[in-house]
Structure 1
Amino acid sequence: MISCSDIFKINKQGFVKDIKLVKSPNFDNRPNETEITLLVIHNISLPPGIYGGKFIENFFTNSLDPTIDPFFYKIKDIKVSAHFVIERTGSLIQYVSAVKRAWHAGESFWNGRSDCNDYSIGIELEGSDNIEYTDIQYAKLNALIECLTEAYPIKDVVGHSDIAPKRKTDPGPSFRWDKIKLFKKT
């Protein structure tokens, strides 16, 4: 089993050491004195259902070429990011410092609070609602959750569909909440 201390160390600037860092411009500052209390799990594949390649990176860095796939025309002007992406191979990429506000949740609500981007960290799993995630993705996700909960006062781990149920379905029915060792969803 992979543990936090085996692979991840988070510095005070909110960056995980020794993983791939691709800086997204799609972030800003959190409101003053906002505690990070929520982790939001998403899924992403670009184009939908296709894995691998640099399209997620291009999307989060505003460099996606819309001529490559018709779907890219629909999303070419959207400015989004997540703090982390876990690829199907288990590779972990960071796009935004954990202490900054990534633009991942959109219009959202959790436990009586709106604007989840203000107080959450977004983790994207390369995948889709109806395709099983890989065991290495769960292992890396659990290790990352352990590290983030050690560094920040995380109270809940939820899916995008939990905070935006009218708009989002991810991480979808293929996501196995029972494989998350911390914060099992009830």
Structure 2
Amino acid sequence: MPSEPTLAPWHQGWHRQAQHLKSPNFGPRPGGVCIDLIVVHSISLPPGQYGGDAVQRLFTNRLDWDAHPYFQSIRGLEVSSHFFIRRDGALWQFVSCDERAWHAGASQYQGQSNCNDNSVGIELEGLEGETFEDAQYHALAQLCRDLAQHYPIAHVAGHEHIAPGRKLDPGPGFDWTHLQKLLDFPAQAFPER
């Protein structure tokens, strides 16, 4: 009996295994740009609290600014990321990878400025400086492999590496060596540690 054909993991920049929740915070990538960078971030809202829907609400401009005192400090922020990986490894997608998500801000890496132009942003549910769950590393590694099969990915870096002094995530609790072993990408694909 013939097996069912497997679907490619991508459809118009959307990963088929992710839960989709479209963000309005994106724009077109510049013409001719090479999508060659993955940027790893960490986020939790409020900081250090996990499991709610505040991150999804932030990325879709639906966050209730009065729901927690911390939210006043980010009131009006319009940001997004391509992906969000929860503590249990669940994968969410907000912007097609063919489009430019608003995750990097002022940034530079490997001679390229404005890293939103050439990167895919992946947020891990967590707090900079704290550790991450094994399920997140495995989901991140699978997503990076899928991205590398579809786009000419050459580098994986943290927000802290593309915006040093301005951003600290994912921070010292993130295990770059573990990710590199899971991915088996060459050492030069990762930031110097």
- 2:57 is matched with 58
Question: Structure 2 length as normaliser, TM-score?
Answer: 0.90
Contact 1:81 1:102 in 2 (8 A): yes
**Structure 1 residue 132, shift from structure 2 partner:** 1.2
Cα distance in 1 for partners of 2:162, 2:17 equals 31
Decide which structure has the larger Cα Rg and report it.
2
Structure 1: gaps (5+ residues): 1-5
| Alignment map for 1:152-171 (pairs within 5 Å) | 152-171=151-170
| Aligned residue type for 2:135 | I
Partner deviation per Cα, 1:17-39 (whole Å, 9 max, x = no partner): 14210000000000011110100
- Cα RMSD (Å) of the superposition? 1.5
- 1:120 and 1:138 mapped to 2: Cα distance? 19
In structure 2, the residue matched to 1:3 is none
- Do the aligned residues in 1 keep the contact of 2:41 with 2:123 (CA within 8 Å)? yes
Q: Which residue in 2 is equivalent to 1:111?
A: 110
Structure 1 equivalent of residue 3 of structure 2: none
* Partner residue in 2 for 1:147: 146
2:132 matched residue in structure 1: 133
Give the unaligned 5+ runs of structure 2: 1-5
- Specify whether residues 95 and 8 from structure 1 end up closer, same or farther in structure 2 by C-alpha distance, changes over 3 A only: farther
Is 2:81 the partner of 1:82? yes
What SS does structure 1 have at the residue aligned with 2:57?
Answer: helix
Change in Cα spacing, 1:124 to 1:8, as seen in structure 2 (3 Å) is farther
The residue aligned with 1:92 is 91
Normalization by structure 1: what TM-score?
0.93
Which 4+ residue blocks in structure 1 deviate beyond 2 angstroms?
181-186
- Is the Cα contact below 8 Å between 1:8 and 1:144 reproduced in 2? no
Letter in 1 for 2:47: P
Deviation at residue 7 of structure 1 after TM alignment? 10
Deviation at 1:8, TM superposition (A): 7.6
Q: CA deviation at 1:131?
A: 2.0
Alignment of 1:12-91 (within 5 A): 13-91=12-90
Structure 2 CA distance, aligned partners of 1:113 and 1:156? 12
Q: Would the aligned equivalents of 1:8 and 1:143 in 2 still touch at CA under 8 Å?
A: no
Aligned to 1:10: 10
Higher RCO structure (Cα 8 Å, ≥6 apart) = 1
Taking structure 1 as reference, are residues 16 and 108 closer, same or farther at Cα in structure 2, changes over 3 Å only?
A: same
Q: How many residues align?
A: 180
